[in-house]
Structure 1
Amino acid sequence: MRTILSKEPWWARPPHPGQDESELEWGWLVHYSEGEPRFEFVRERPSDEDIRQRKSCRITPSPE
């Protein structure tokens, strides 16, 4: 049986240095339990609030 273990906002491709997160293509990284646990990227844009509240996939500022 396919069960969602977690679902969190994630970018489709890592940002370029200095790129603003509003310019990124966003979707959901879904972790399924289906025999062997697996991940799938779902190209459905999360809300801006979901993106702001995400726990992972953070953009770290470049040292100046």
Structure 2
Amino acid sequence: MNHMASKSADIRPGITLACTECKERNYITTKNRRNTPDRLELKKFCPRCGKQTVHRETR
């Protein structure tokens, strides 16, 4: 059995953050599934909108 990065990847999966206004996928980050089981929402700068907007986690 070869379990390379399964332990760390299970708890902290990589996610993409997309702008809720223009749907542009601007940021890639990781989140802790244990602390935030629901979808992540952060206010980040969207270069396409040219302002701070709410960015939501996409699959």
Query: TM-score under structure 2 normalisation?
Result: 0.29
**TM-score normalized with structure 1 length:** 0.28
Q: Identify, as 1 or 2, the structure richer in strand.
A: 2
